[in-house]
Amino acid sequence: MTNSNMRRAFIHDRPSEITPQGVYLRRRQLIQALAGGAAGTAMASWALRDALAQAPRPGKLAALPGVRSAVAGAATMEKLTDYKDASSYNNFYEFGTDKADPAQNAHTLKTTPWTVEIEGQVKKPGKYAIEDLLKLSAQEERVYRLRCVEGWSMVIPWVGYSLAELIRKVEPLGNAKYLEFVTLADKKVMSGVGSRVLDWPYVEGLRMDEAMHPLAMLSFGMYGEVLPNQNGAPVRLVVPWKYGFKSGKSLVKIRFVEKQPATAWNRAAPGEYGFFSNVNPDVDHPRWSQATERRIGEDGLFTKKRKTLMFNGYASQVDQLYAGMDLRKFY
């Protein structure tokens, strides 16, 4: 930790910024584990990662720096996808179904003012302004693999923090079993919302334990800058072990509910998209194989596609969430 970071860590504008004891203790455990050498290799790769030059900031949008994340699995060593590819090849149907559409059409989106409404089974429901959400927890940089259900993948340095930070803050009640994420559907600024491709608004969901997993992330930026509109500005979900469509963009509402939410793709094509949609090379999409993937901008035109990993390579972090579940049935 640099000196300035340390100084920042001890000044708290509000009590909510103080690190909860549980998190504090877990960090201690991590440090102990590191000192014990159990994670010596992890530490070495960290150090290496620091030494490596990151992709230079694209310089297109406002800076949003993040400290390197301590969450296990949050810093893959793989080569970052070019910002240009990550911001011009998007599935964001509210702005059109072609992957080039969002970059062309999303400039109409107004991201200020913006609020995210928390409702349902929580002690502290209400509307949270984006400015407050940005400050709710320290912004971290996390380099995640992104695997699209269509069979391509990217490596993206997101900026944000664990969704669990927000969940703890709003204090879910005992009967809150699932989270439902509702994204913006504004016909006036989103050219694709008039289409009948999906039932708008786009709704996604997670089980509470999935949502609480430290890898599940609320993201506000990428490549050291705030999110481009086409990538889901001003705030989106990033759940790296699930297919990309699970990570809702431009969130406007999070509902804490008792029953499993009806998600947009599951309603549109239940035989093709299940609620869980974990990355799984053994369960094919009805119309194509999920065993392999093409890494955008990296694999040459004639390179064989690379093998897709179980839970997108995050199995050691997340497979206990699905212990005893038949993942063919719960796809």
Residues that bind another protein (CB under 8 A): 84-85, 88-89, 93, 97, 99-100, 152, 196-198, 268-269, 272, 284-289, 294, 296-297, 301-302, 304-305
Nearest distance from residue 263's CB to another protein, in Å?
Answer: 15
Nearest distance from residue 246's CB to another protein, in Å?
Answer: 16
Q: Which residue has the tokens 């149907």?
A: 93
Residues 6+ apart with CB under 8 A from 175: 121, 258
Q: Name which of 281, 298, 299 is nearest 290 in CA terms.
A: 281
- Comparing CB distances to another protein, the nearer of 277 and 317 is 277
- Comparing CB distances to another protein, the nearer of 220 and 331 is 331
- Comparing CB distances to another protein, the nearer of 101 and 225 is 101
**Preceding omega of 240 cis (within 30 degrees of 0):** no
Nearest distance from residue 277's CB to another protein, in Å?
Answer: 13
- CB burial of 139-149 (b: ≥16 within 10 Å; e: otherwise) equals bbbbbbbbbbb
Tell me how far apart the alpha carbons of residues 156 and 78 are, in angstroms, rounded to a whole number.
10
- Phi, psi (degrees; rounded to nearest 5) at 102: -55, -45
- Comparing CB distances to another protein, the nearer of 169 and 294 is 294
Nearest distance from residue 292's CB to another protein, in Å?
Answer: 8
- Comparing CB distances to another protein, the nearer of 15 and 271 is 271
Question: Would you list the DSSP string of 37-85?
Answer: TTTHHHHHHHHHHHHSPPPPP--SS-B---EEP-STT-B--SPPPPHHH
Tell me how far apart the alpha carbons of residues 219 and 249 are, in angstroms, rounded to a whole number.
9
Tell me how far apart the alpha carbons of residues 203 and 224 are, in angstroms, rounded to a whole number.
27
- Comparing CB distances to another protein, the nearer of 50 and 282 is 282
Nearest distance from residue 301's CB to another protein, in Å?
Answer: 6
Nearest distance from residue 202's CB to another protein, in Å?
Answer: 13
Nearest distance from residue 65's CB to another protein, in Å?
Answer: 26
User: For residue 223, how many other CB atoms are within 10 A of its CB?
Assistant: 28
Tell me how far apart the alpha carbons of residues 252 and 237 are, in angstroms, rounded to a whole number.
11
Nearest distance from residue 296's CB to another protein, in Å?
Answer: 5
Tell me how far apart the alpha carbons of residues 118 and 166 are, in angstroms, rounded to a whole number.
10
- Comparing CB distances to another protein, the nearer of 63 and 269 is 269
- Comparing CB distances to another protein, the nearer of 54 and 97 is 97
Contact (Cβ atoms closer than 8 angstroms) between residue 276 and residue 330: yes
